[in-house]
Structure 1
Amino acid sequence: MTQEQGDPRHLETLDRDLARFSKLETATSYISRPMVGPGIALVFIIFAGLAAMLFFGQTTNSLIVVIAACLGAYMALNIGANDVANNMGPAVGANALSMGGAIAIAVVCESAGALIAGGDVVSTVAKGIIAPQSMDTASIFVWAMMAALLSAALWVNLATWIGAPVSTTHSVVGGVMGAGIAAAGFAAVDWQTMGGIAASWVISPVLGGLIAAGFLWLIKSRIIYRPDKIAAARVWVPILVGIMAGAFAAYLALKGLKKIMDIDMPSALMIGLGLGLGVWLVMIPVIRRQSEGLENRNKSLKVLFGIPLVVSAALLSFAHGANDVANAVAPLAAIVQASQTESFGDAINIPLWVMIIGAFGISFGLFLFGPKLIRMVGGQITKLNPMRAYCVALSAAITVIVASWLGLPVSSTHIAVGGVFGVGFFREWDAERRIRKARLAMPERTTYSAEERRRRKLVRRSHFLTIIAAWVITVPAAAILSGVIFFVIRAVTGS
């Protein structure tokens, strides 16, 4: 060792240099980490394009189908990032599921729903809003569907970035409408269908909120506010789980299994009633055994609602995959068919590879980008526990059944988030009611100031206003964006 190498000052300089390298490595890792998700997403989009090239073959229109497959994959990723939070958010917010467990269950159930029962609503999305015969040529129809797909994906991507759970169905509907108007004028739009969709902006969240609040009132009045909570839970929890089982059986029969078998409303209700009664009878001894040794307090009740909440989240994900995969693959399936046959007025046949792109895209989007919206829905709007989250999940299933019975179009996003709002606003009302009751019983008790009462609100008003604003502008924003994209495509292609 030389004298210079043994000099303590030389060693100090070396330590400082190594420390700088360490900090540089940490900073590089910190900066690059946010790029991992988009990088994996880009690889998936490229693979979707390669799959389209492989299955569609080398034809004159293969490039169009490859581009459409990439856009369909991009849309599926955004559906996974935004829409799936509505099913898993309440369970995660209530601590019934970890984030990793929620993502694992959702990935399996969303993919299963899309591949087993998906595709029933594809024709409605692709052709129920704009009359195909209003398009002059197949190429114009293809450009319109491509513009709709890209505009919807961009809008949902923006909504996810700002933390607003929006309806992906409404995004696609707005995209199809805007491109159709740009291509064929306002007369091409089925305004009756659009009027029903606009009505669902109000109907979905209000109905979901009222049903969720109603079940929370039932749980509070029949279980939580009873002197012996455990004894009350042994009576009511089996009934509530039976209602949940019956509601989800009818929900899945109506919305999730149409591809396998055609079930009408009376048959679905009978299936739900039979399964609900069976689950109620099975759960009586299960809840009695599960409640043994529990203390007579609210925290003990959370144990009894944990498993039903996890099951409900899984079933909601299956039904969501079956229904909302159409938002990604409907325009893509229409483009593939029009490119193959030059026909765009016939019924749409969905190739298996198109469904696989939709199913895997939703799963990848959830895995890579879903946690942000899951946290928003599960804990940032209002505080959830297993009882409240159970009410949200149950309201989603029942609202869809009621809406189907009435023939009303509804949004699963609006229902689930409306249920969260309903639970939060009911808690505010119930807290105010109990304060007034206590004040009447004890007038000398200290009352809260107006400022203190505003601070104690149980629903975050900033999130509430952001989400409502995003809901209202989703269809017009997607429509305007789609119209602009359509004109750009026409200008670039010269067709």
Structure 2
Amino acid sequence: MSAENEGDPRHLDTLDRDLARFSNLELATNYVSRPLIGTGIALLFVMVAGIVAAIVFGEANNSFIVIMAACLGAYMALNIGANDVANNMGPAVGANALTMGGAIAIAVVFESAGALIAGGDVVSTIAKGIIAPESMGDAATFIWAMMSALLAAAFWVNIATWVGAPVSTTHSVVGGVMGAGIAAAGFAAVDWTTMSAIAASWIISPLMGGLIAAGFLWVIESQIIHKDDKIAAARKWVPILVGIMAGTFATYLALKGIKKIVKIDLQTALIAGAVIGGLFWAMMVPVIRKQSEGLENRNKSLKVLFGIPLVVSAALLSFAHGANDVANAVGPLAAIVQAAQSGDFLSAFSIPLWVMAIGALGISFGLFLFGPKLIRMVGSQITKLNPMRAYCVALSAAITVIVASWLGLPVSSTHIAVGGVFGVGFFREWDAERRIKNARLKMPDRTIYAPEERKRRKLVRRSHFLTIIAAWVITVPAAAALSGGVFFISTLLR
């Protein structure tokens, strides 16, 4: 370009447009590359897990098998973090009690703490007795069956996360173990009584979670929100609800969260929970009274009083989740490690610290890299949540697990939490319809909403509801079919 054209305003305009195009291209490139960066970090973590397994095992026999299993365990842990943890943090984020960054930070800390401090208790049979290990015949068959189950479960959870469906990682592992067991030893290898109980939990756990969440929301609305003096009602009821939360979580953690440290029976846990709940109620009475001073008599003020209890409940749920569900990622891996080391696959096995660390770190990485999608789904895309509604979901999750433990039902934390969100949403629909009918009785000549408008104003998104229910129903058979296929292919390659 000639020198005399450099000062031409048209040239400057062209240069600005070119720079703008370049800037837009750079932004677009960064946007497109974000998923690639997350995938790259995830692959790096999987490779590091394999390297750690290689260092621990060295030149031992079957070291290659253990390295492969460690990589699959890391892959499964990443998917648990991307999918399962959203159930604990989604309601708090959807209610704007936590930012996405704050939710991820809290979950990373408490999930890891739960896994490393209270996780990894001795397991007598793989996947809660889904298959009889003796039916496998030899250690090599057992190892490949567990490898198939781990890969199939992780892949299924990965697919579910991609389509935006929160599914049960517990049921994915159960399905994977069942499918591999059938492929290896036939249908007789499966404990169908246990499988029937799990199938029943598909219905029982979300219904129980939904009903309990709706019940607490009914209490909050009838005793606080719809009272003339909302602040006075809140001063009475919020300490009671916080006391129930504290007692519930104390019982929950005593039963599920610290069983590696000390064994506590249900009766002792309930007594301890009642005592702790009473103490927290007494402590919260003056706190809520002081916090409520100067607040206006409206619903927005109530959100302030529920904010901190909601954040604390989300953190405690994450701790308990890490203590329990990390075994979904590393339970089969620990079984493979023991079988590869000693050839023993019939007796109980414990989870080594390095295996537990892979699970804990994998869950944290998976949440950080891929978790926001499901957090948004659970927190804001099923139904609109505020701190009161989200608090009901968190409280129902803990109570449902305790009741299920007492009844001996194998339940899914995913089904319970999402069922709680559905319960809150459908209760809001029922309550809105009830109010419209009451208003029509009082003012029969006034049109509240036309029937078509009422259909449009549904408070639970039916498309998400149907997608999630469908994903729940097919999780076990889909994981089983994938696992059986992988095991069959492995037999051809060996």
How far residue 19 of structure 1 moved from its aligned partner, in angstroms, is 4.8
User: Which stretches in structure 1 are left out of the alignment for 5+ residues?
Assistant: none
Within the alignment, does 1:156 sit opposite 2:157 as a pair? Answer: yes
**1:194-233 equivalences in 2 (<5 Å):** 194-233=195-234
C-alpha change, 1:24 and 1:90, in structure 2 (3 Å) is: closer
Within the alignment, does 1:239 sit opposite 2:253 as a pair? Answer: no
Counterpart of 1:151, as a letter, is: A
SS in 2 for 1:422: helix
Q: What are the Cα deviations for residues 379-410 of structure 1, in whole angstroms up to 9, with x where unaligned?
A: 10000000000000000010011111111111
How far residue 448 of structure 1 moved from its aligned partner, in angstroms, is 1.8
Whether the 8 Å CA contact 2:120–2:350 is kept in 1: the answer is no
Name the structure 1 match of 2:468.
Answer: 467
Name the structure 2 match of 1:178.
Answer: 179
Q: What are the Cα deviations for residues 188-243 of structure 1, in whole angstroms up to 9, with x where unaligned?
A: 00111111100100010000001000000111111111111100111111001000
How far residue 445 of structure 1 moved from its aligned partner, in angstroms, is 1.2
Q: What are the Cα deviations for residues 104-132 of structure 1, in whole angstroms up to 9, with x where unaligned?
A: 00000000000011113744444611111
CA distance in 2, matches of 1:6, 1:356: 62
Whether the 8 Å CA contact 1:138–1:338 is kept in 2: the answer is yes
Whether the 8 Å CA contact 1:125–1:173 is kept in 2: the answer is no
Q: What are the Cα deviations for residues 65-90 of structure 1, in whole angstroms up to 9, with x where unaligned?
A: 00100000000000000000000001
C-alpha change, 1:284 and 1:59, in structure 2 (3 Å) is: same
How far residue 268 of structure 1 moved from its aligned partner, in angstroms, is 0.3
Name the structure 2 match of 1:25.
Answer: 26
CA distance in 2, matches of 1:66, 1:110: 24
Q: Which moved more, 1:23-32 or 1:280-289?
A: 23-32
Whether the 8 Å CA contact 2:122–2:350 is kept in 1: the answer is no
CA distance in 2, matches of 1:463, 1:421: 10
Within the alignment, does 1:417 sit opposite 2:452 as a pair? Answer: no
Whether the 8 Å CA contact 1:125–1:326 is kept in 2: the answer is no
How far residue 102 of structure 1 moved from its aligned partner, in angstroms, is 0.5
Counterpart of 1:111, as a letter, is: S
Name the structure 2 match of 1:68.
Answer: 69
Name the structure 2 match of 1:349.
Answer: 350
CA distance in 2, matches of 1:455, 1:3: 65
Counterpart of 1:268, as a letter, is: A
Whether the 8 Å CA contact 1:110–1:317 is kept in 2: the answer is yes
Count of equivalent residues? 493
CA distance in 2, matches of 1:75, 1:326: 11
CA distance in 1, matches of 2:127, 2:489: 21
User: Which stretches in structure 2 are left out of the alignment for 5+ residues?
Assistant: none
Whether the 8 Å CA contact 1:72–1:149 is kept in 2: the answer is yes
CA distance in 1, matches of 2:245, 2:11: 72
Name the structure 1 match of 2:448.
Answer: 447
Whether the 8 Å CA contact 2:61–2:341 is kept in 1: the answer is no
Q: What are the Cα deviations for residues 6-33 of structure 1, in whole angstroms up to 9, with x where unaligned?
A: 4737666655655554444333223212
Counterpart of 1:154, as a letter, is: F
Counterpart of 1:417, as a letter, is: V
SS in 2 for 1:325: helix
How far residue 60 of structure 1 moved from its aligned partner, in angstroms, is 2.7
CA distance in 1, matches of 2:203, 2:122: 22
Counterpart of 1:489, as a letter, is: S
How far residue 252 of structure 1 moved from its aligned partner, in angstroms, is 0.5
CA distance in 1, matches of 2:415, 2:347: 32
CA distance in 1, matches of 2:491, 2:383: 46
Q: Which moved more, 1:259-268 or 1:121-130?
A: 121-130
Q: Which moved more, 1:3-12 or 1:422-431?
A: 3-12
Whether the 8 Å CA contact 1:120–1:323 is kept in 2: the answer is no
CA distance in 2, matches of 1:16, 1:447: 54
Counterpart of 1:236, as a letter, is: W
Whether the 8 Å CA contact 1:121–1:326 is kept in 2: the answer is no
SS in 2 for 1:408: coil
CA distance in 2, matches of 1:15, 1:92: 41
Name the structure 2 match of 1:91.
Answer: 92
SS in 1 for 2:309: helix
CA distance in 2, matches of 1:124, 1:422: 34
Counterpart of 2:180, as a letter, is: A
Q: Which moved more, 1:403-412 or 1:273-282?
A: 403-412
CA distance in 2, matches of 1:239, 1:7: 75
Whether the 8 Å CA contact 1:122–1:329 is kept in 2: the answer is no
Q: TM-score, normalised by structure 1?
A: 0.97
CA distance in 2, matches of 1:15, 1:294: 53
C-alpha change, 1:323 and 1:420, in structure 2 (3 Å) is: same
Counterpart of 1:142, as a letter, is: I
Q: TM-score, normalised by structure 2?
A: 0.97
